[in-house]
Amino acid sequence: MNFLAPDADVRAAHVVVEDARLVVELMDGRSIAVPLAWFPRLANATPQQRNHWELAGGGYGIHWPDIDEDLSTEGLLRGARAPQGALPAHLPANPA
């Protein structure tokens, strides 16, 4: 079952990682905002690492090369969080 309208363009146009949330602006004008806590790698990354992102998969994905994190716009639209245990061993847990 497809819930997206045929003319919806869910490719990412721009990404902003704020202190507490990830905001992805889509090509069709919508924005997705999700809690940064859903993605431990991003939550525990430095601001420089968070801001170093690139579009992947023709814009349907976002890749952060410094922390090896990949998210899809489809997953963000579904509200998919990072799986449990997604934090790599070399990144410390968020003390908060």
Give the pLDDT confidence of 54-64 residue by residue, as tens digits. 999 999 999 99
Would 93 be classed as within a structural domain?
no
pTM above 0.85? Answer: no
Beta carbons within 10 angstroms of residue 57's beta carbon: 13
Residue 63 belongs to some domain of the structure? yes
In a domain, 34, yes or no: yes
Tell me, what CATH number does 21's domain have?
Answer: 3.30.2020.40
Q: Per residue in 22-41, pLDDT tens?
A: 999 999 999 999 999 999 99
Amino acid at 86: A
pLDDT the model gives residue 22: 98
Residue 71 predicted with pLDDT over 80:
yes
In this structure, are residues 24 and 12 in contact, taking their beta carbons and an 8 Å threshold? yes
- Please give the mean pLDDT across all residues of the chain: 88
